[in-house]
Amino acid sequence: MKQDIFGSSSMGYVVIESRHLERWQALLQNGIGLHLQHADGPLLAFRMDHHQRRIIVKHGPAEDFAAVGWQLEDQDTLNIVLQRLKNRGIAVHESSAGEAAERGVVRFWRVIGPKRMAIELFIEPLTTDEPLSMLSEGFITGEAGMGHLAITSRRGKDMRRFWQEIFDARQSDSIVEQLAGVTVDIDFFRVNPRHHSIAIAQVRGLALDPIRTKAQHMNLLTTSVCGLTDAFMRCRQLGFEMAHEIGEHPNDREQSFYVLTPSGFELELGWNALEVDEASWQIATYKGISLWGHKPQKLGTWNKLKTNLSNFGQGLRSLRRAEYSPLQELP
């Protein structure tokens, strides 16, 4: 009998590698409004709830995601996931005590997922009752997890299979967007009541990926519209570029903005995103990523040209290398 683990997993933490720790601290503590839990030389750690660590920024050259922590409900769920990985010949490595402490969990099991993103499975987070000291009023976490990731892929089919076959992800809906003369198909997948924990974008008809990093953006949800607008103003005042100013998405009705992080990928802060009612939900396709807003910050002509050339060059470079998938490719 099939064992469905839908509703038993969520995004638990992210690990980012960057040389720009001071700017990351400014963005996350003074802009987004998180609680700075740990700042010691080459490592920063931030809280947003009772988990000791939700975002970890380590000193290093990658300017990219080093890992995403995926929380599982209990040992039975972990066993099911580990067996599914074993059945597909996907290697799993258990953490050392030091690695687990750095992540703020009792222990974790690491697997290399699509695009070589390290996915770290854990059951027990280290928690604290220490009061939060945050500029933000609060963030939505709990059963839904801490947020979502949006990932661009040249192998969208295999990317979708991974999340569906390993975590029983369900498709919520799709968006078709026109960007710079190409069509981008974006599929949204949920693993719990949050509308989506993973979004997968692929350029239609072209096997290229214009995004350098393992994920195009990560998302956090604040608990109030004031939490959204105040953070927007703080980020602007701190000099962070807005990739997209405040707007609203048509599928989950989330109002949000996207700020460019010191590592080059985007961080989306949103509020008021709907949760899925499993009894009545119908998959739909929407045209356009935004109902209103989400306009890019006004840049000079030279900066716009540099951005377009950089994206075009990255897309061309992606044609010369294979995109990793842990699953055997199906015909």
Identify the CA nearest to 180 among candidates 285, 314, 284: 314
21-78 pLDDT, tens digit per residue, is 999 999 999 999 999 999 998 999 999 999 999 999 999 999 999 999 999 999 999 9
Q: Which of 105-109, 124-128, 263-267, 303-307 shows the lowest mean pLDDT across its residues? A: 303-307
**pLDDT the model gives residue 322:** 82
The DSSP line for 207-249 is ------SS-SEEEEEBSSHHHHHHHHHHHHHTT--EEEEEEE-
If one compares 312 and 125, the residue with the highest pLDDT of the two is 125
Q: How many C-beta atoms surround the C-beta of residue 116 within 10 A?
A: 11
Q: What is the mean pLDDT of residues 103-127?
A: 98
Q: What integer pLDDT is reported at residue 1 of this predicted model?
A: 53
| Token representation of residue 292 | 């209103």
**Which residues, including other chains, have CB under 8 Å from residue 287's CB and lie 6 or more apart?**
175, 176, 177
Q: Is 160's pLDDT higher than 80?
A: yes
Write down the pLDDT at residue 234: 98
By C-alpha distance, which of 328, 12, 327, 324 is closest to 153? 324
What pLDDT does 317 receive?
54
pLDDT tens across 182-227, in order? 999 999 999 999 999 999 999 999 888 989 999 999 999 999 999 9
Residue 91, Cβ neighbours under 10 Å: how many? 10
Provide mean pLDDT across the span 1-11. Answer: 90
Question: Would you tell me the crossing angle of helices 156-167 and 75-87 to the nearest 10 degrees?
Answer: 140
Q: Which residue has the higher pLDDT, 42 or 312?
A: 42
Q: Which of 179, 113, 192 is nearest to 146 (CA)?
A: 192
Taking residues 215-244, report their average pLDDT.
Answer: 98
Task: Give 88-141 as a DSSP string.
Answer: TT---EEPPHHHHHHHTBS--EEEE-GGG-EEEEES-B-B--PPP--SSS-B--
Task: Lowest mean pLDDT of 177-191, 266-280, 295-309, name the range.
Answer: 295-309
| DSSP summary character for residue 21 | H
> Is 237:30 a contact under the CB 8 Å cutoff?
no
Give the residue from 193, 195, 189, 209 showing the smallest Cα distance to 325: 209
Rounded distance between C-alpha atoms, residue 55 and residue 33, angstroms = 12
> Higher pLDDT residue, 316 or 96?
96
The whole-chain average pLDDT of the chain stands at 93
**Cα distance between residue 100 and residue 43, in whole Å:** 14
pLDDT of residue 316: 46
Judge contact between 60 and 19, C-beta under 8 A: yes
Q: Can you give the pLDDT at residue 306?
A: 42
First and final C-alpha spacing in the chain:
26
One-letter amino acid identity for 258? Y
CA distance 104 to 46: 10
